[in-house]
Amino acid sequence: MVAVEAGNQTAWLQEALVELGAEAVVVNAAKVWLIEDDRHKTDQVDAEVLCELLLWDGLPTPVPMPNRECRELRGLLAAR
């Protein structure tokens, strides 16, 4: 299982991980920092916190990710 913070580029990363056979869980970074707020926020600390929460089954509710077709439609609508 892999935990990834939600962001602008998360959809393709999650999709690629799933295609490789991994279970990819996308989480809201703000909810993670409500749980773990006593460290300075850096990419390395973010990764460590996600790993710890993943190990202890403490990740917040996953963010639902739209499928490729839905993302493409949203992109088309945004371009118009």
Asked whether residue 80 carries a pLDDT value surpassing 90, the answer given is no
Q: Domain spans of the chain?
A: 2-79
Dihedral of the CA atoms 52, 9, 26, 80 (nearest 10)?
Answer: 160
At residue 14, what are phi and psi to the nearest 5 degrees?
Answer: -60, -45
How would residue 21 be classed by pLDDT, with cut points 50, 70 and 90? very high
Distance of CA 11 to the CA centre of its chain: 8
Q: How many CB atoms lie within 10 A of CB 42?
A: 9
pLDDT tens track for 43-72 = 788 888 888 889 998 888 898 888 889 988
Alpha-carbon distance of 23 to 51, in angstroms, equals 14
- Which residues contact residue 46 at a Cβ distance below 8 angstroms, ignoring those fewer than 6 apart? 5, 29, 32
